[in-house]
Every structure is written in structure tokens, then in C-alpha cells.
Amino acid sequence: MDEHQQRLTSYLAAYIDELVGNGVDEVVISPGSRSTPLALLFTHHPGVKTYINVDERSAAFFGLGIAKAKQKPVAILCTSGTAAANYYPAVIEARYAKVPLIVLTADRPHELREVGAPQAINQLDLYGKHVKWSVDMALPESSAGILKYAKSSAARGVSMALSVPAGPVHFNFPIREPLIPALDESTFTPGIRDKRVINGVRGLTPEMRDDLLRILREKQHGLIVCGPGVDSSAVDSIMAFSEQYGFPVAADPLSGVRSGLHSKENVIETYDAILKTKEVLANLQPDIIIRFGSMPVSKPLTLFIKELPDVPYWVVSSGEEWQDPTAMATEFIYSDEESFCHDLMAGAEKKDAGWLHKWKKANDISRRILQADDQPWNEGKAVKQLIELLPEGASIFASNSMPIRDIDTFFFTNDKKISVHANRGANGIDGVVSTALGMSTGNTPLYLLIGDLAFFHDLNGLLVAKKYGLDMTIVVMNNNGGGIFSFLPQASEGTYFEELFGTPMDLDFSSAAAFYGADYQLVKEEIDIASALSNAGGKKGIKIIEVLTNREENVAIHRNLWNFVSQEIVSELKGNTP
């Protein structure tokens, strides 16, 4: 081992040892030359599981999915140049979805920057404000001080990625040639870490608690909102809090509140359909709103809150982040959710029972209509059937645009342990297949619900599934275009709508299934979907179920259902008016 190789190996091995010691034991690697020493050392480390994905954009989303599934930081590694730029969409999603991602980019040494060297771009602060921390690492050295620096940087990066709110951090590694490290049994010291960080629970001071209790005791018509990102360990406490005060809980499907064995006595799951009519809104005005998690998917709920300027609106978050897209929040309460509920249940009294009854009655009416089996075949009905047939312990990953909105409408409360996931940080359709495949490494039955455009957009993500024998059922809603635009004002632009927004592609995904070695089934009618899901459930690997639907019919059926819900609730309200 020459001096250069000794410096290179000692420095990078010290960094990797500390990463692993702090819980980063899975790495997604995209092949490249400048990243060679890191790739070899990660693969050689006995405590690291590596995945190889040749497409950096897909690889980054795949790593994001692993981190989401296992709720731990995951590293992604690529070479220099545009390879690093391909990480950007996933880095953005990780930042806004609060996912801990350790982004590792190899770089040219300082003397080869900005001088026209090949595959050398400016990678300093490449991801801007979309990472929590970015560091241009020192060139490899083996002095005691530099090895301490490498370990300290690794520990600090993991700590920052995990600290609330979680998110991505970026390490840029300038490396000189030659690039081959020494690989032998003494390269690493597994099980030994230099530093660790312990995060405690954040709660309310007695003064804060008393001030909030004073406000709560004056309110009769509270509304609790549970959005994406609610701490699963706090769900029981939030439900107990709602029942103690008699407040309804508008629960987003990504909150984890709609399914499971916890109490769902006060859960209102069909609020998106309920809140579409002025007469209904006027009868369901809260006098205080308490939100846990991020803002829900539902646009009617967002508009409802925006029309309540004089209502106290509390946003409870365990991290100091400004989660207020409506600009209506009056209090930002930085507290652990479970501690908040526990602190404010002391001495609580149930409020106006009629208030909770109105919400529950509206929810019962809406759910009865949306659950009815006699509605015509449409995408919503297919989603309803999919959810009903999910096995215990399954996870469903919903693409953005229509899939997550249909899940919002047709995912009803149940006692099965079903978790719902989506990329709702930046809400894009890119990387959905790859993220879901990353989540499939979590060893629970995983179903991906996705539209034809989003599926096409990340089709090459299926390569990693073929390489590693990953198991996932993909339900593709093929309405031959961007179905969500048919629900938006753009649909009124008849002349250019199909060209600019509908964007029909006329794709047959059976050929894609064959190309990636996936099982394929085509569903054209309602009667076929149950058998298709049953067949997929008995097989391993990637199963693609393509469901053909009609965009125009789908819009009409959705709107008819929503109108019927509104009419029935308004009729009920009028019947109860003295």
C-alpha cells in the first residue's frame, strides 16, 4: 500500500465506519469512476447492504423509499458531474417530506475545478436550500486530526438528517487519482463509533399548558385535523384527546389514523366530499382548529380553513417548521404530539354533543353514498375495491394527481393495519415507481396505485426490481392521459386541452411488463379486478395490473357522487332545522 492509497483508505474508511455506527447501513450506489473508492469501501464493509442502480434519478428516489419504509437514514452515492444533478428531484422531495437522506457525491480535486476538466461541474452547495447541511469534505489524509474530522462530519451529518424536522444532508468528496483503496480485513473497525446524539422529547412548560387550557375551555366546537406525518406512537393519544373534548377528527389517509386497532370513534374520513357545498360549510363552522401533521391533501378542507379568519388555529409540530400554507395559523406549538395531548387532557370537559353529532351524521351520509356498490364502474370504485382487498399489514403507495385523491375519497375507516404512503413533500409525479420499490424492501406487502403518465415517467425504475427480485403489485389506472386536469378549470379550454393537458399517449404497458420480466394482467371491466388482485397476491416479483378507464366518464361519475353527497347532507340539515 503506497502513501496515497493509505491516506485514501484510512480517511474514507473512518468516515464510513462512523456512518454505519450511527445507523446508516444501506447505500444505493450508481456506478461511476470518481466515486470508485467510496463504492468499493461501502461494498467491502461487513455492516453495509448495497444496492446498485445505474440511473441516478431513480437511485435517489429508491433510497428515499428505503428511508421512508424503515424510518432511518439511507445513503445514496454517485460520481461527479450531471450524475449529481440527477439526484435533485429526490433531494427536494426528501427535504419537504422530512426524510433523512445522506447524499454523497464524488468530485474532482480543487485543482481540477473551473478549469475545463472533464465531468467537473460546480458541486459546492449544489442542492442549495434543499439540504439541511452541505459540506465540501477535505481531501483524503490519514493524520489523527483529519480522521477525527471525517468521523465527526459523518456523525454530525446523520444527526442533522435525523433532527426534527428530518431531511437530506450533502457530503461532497473531492478525490484525487489513483482511485483504488486497499481492501483487507483490517480496513474497518465495525461496532465502534466516535460520537452519538440523543434527541429527547419536547413538551410544554406549565405556563404554556395553562395558557392553552384557558383557551380550550372557552371553546365548544373544536375541529382536529390530522395530516400526513402524524407520529404513529401519538395516534392513541390524539384519539383520546378528541374523545375527551368531543371534537371530530378530519383524518387524511396519510395520517395513519383511518386504519388500525386504535379508537376511531370521532374520525371523519369523508370530509373532502362533505366540505364541497356552502350550505354544509355554514353548518360546520368550528370555533377552534388543532392540526397535527402537515396540511392534508384535500383542497376543500384547505379552502374551508381559509374562510375562517377569526378562528384560533393551532399547528402542533415537534420541530420548528412553518407549516401554514393557508397563512391562517394563529399558534405554532412546538411540542411532541403525545405530550401535547397528555398535557391538555387534564381537567378537560366534553363540549357541545350536538357539534360532534352533526359531523358524524354528515360523515355517515357521505360514507354510505361513496361506499355503495351500485355506482357505475370508475376509477374511484376500482380504488375502493383495491383497499377492501388489501391483506392485513399491507402498505399502499399512492402516486400524486388522481390516485392520492381517490384514496382520500374512498379509503374508509377500518381495523386492518394498512399504511398509506405518498411523495407529498413536493407532490411531483417523478420517481414514484422508484420510491415505492425502495419501500418494498421493508418486507411488507406493497401495492402501488399509479396513473399511466406517472408510471411512464419512472418506468426505468423497474430495472432495480428485476435486479434484486423485489416484490410489489402495481395497479396502473390507464385513462390515456392526465386525468386530474379533467377535474380542473383547464378542462374548459376545448381547443388545446388534449394537446397541452390531456396528453394521451396510447401506450400498452404489456410490452413494458415483458421487458422488465413482470407479470401482467389487463382489467377492462369491474368484474375482473378482484380476480386480478387475487392472482397477483399469489405470485412473487413485480405484478402489473393495468386498469383501462375513460377520463370523461370518470369525471362525470365522481361529480355525480359528490353532488349526491351534498344534496343528502343539505336535506338532512334542513330536516333538523326548527
Angle subtended at Cα 520 by Cα 375 and Cα 527, rounded to the nearest 5 degrees: 25
pLDDT over 90, % of the chain: 83
pLDDT over 70, % of the chain: 98
Give me the mean pLDDT over the 504-509 stretch.
91
In b/e form, how buried is each residue of 164-176, taking b as 16+ CB within 10 angstroms? ebbbbbbbbbbbb
Max intra-chain CA distance, the chain? 92
Write out the CATH class of domain 3-174.
alpha beta
Q: Where are the beta strands (DSSP E) in 414-564?
A: 419-421, 446-451, 472-478, 519-523, 542-548
CB-CB neighbours of 275 under 10 Å: 23
The answer to whether residues 396 and 420 touch, using CB atoms and an 8 Å cutoff, is: yes
List, for residues 27-76, the tens digit of each pLDDT value: 999 999 999 999 999 999 999 999 999 999 999 999 999 999 999 999 99
The answer to whether residues 288 and 245 touch, using CB atoms and an 8 Å cutoff, is: no
The answer to whether residues 345 and 241 touch, using CB atoms and an 8 Å cutoff, is: yes
List, for residues 260-294, the tens digit of each pLDDT value: 999 999 999 999 999 999 999 999 999 999 999 99
The answer to whether residues 212 and 147 touch, using CB atoms and an 8 Å cutoff, is: no
CATH topology of domain 379-548: Rossmann fold (3.40.50)
Given this model, what pLDDT does residue 189 score? Answer: 81
Q: Would you say residue 578 has pLDDT above 50?
A: no
List, for residues 183-232, the tens digit of each pLDDT value: 887 788 877 777 777 666 678 889 999 999 999 999 999 999 999 999 99
List, for residues 464-498, the tens digit of each pLDDT value: 999 999 999 999 999 998 888 888 888 888 788 88
Domain with CATH 3.40.50.970 in the chain: 3-174, 379-548
Torsion angle in degrees (nearest 10) through CA of 301, 388, 468, 43: 50
List, for residues 108-121, the tens digit of each pLDDT value: 999 989 898 889 89
Partners of 396 in beta bridges? 420, 447
Domain with CATH 3.40.50.1220 in the chain: 206-368
Give me the mean pLDDT over the 225-247 stretch.
96
Given this model, what pLDDT does residue 321 score? Answer: 77
Residue type, 390: L
Q: Where are the beta strands (DSSP E) in 388-518?
A: 395-398, 419-421, 446-451, 472-478
Does the domain formed by 206-368 have CATH 3.40.50.300? no
The answer to whether residues 434 and 93 touch, using CB atoms and an 8 Å cutoff, is: no
List, for residues 367-379, the tens digit of each pLDDT value: 999 999 898 999 9
Structure letter (DSSP) for residue 499: I
Q: How far apart are CA 463 and CA 438, in angstroms?
A: 12
List, for residues 337-353, the tens digit of each pLDDT value: 999 999 999 877 777 88
Distance, CA of 205 to chain centre: 32
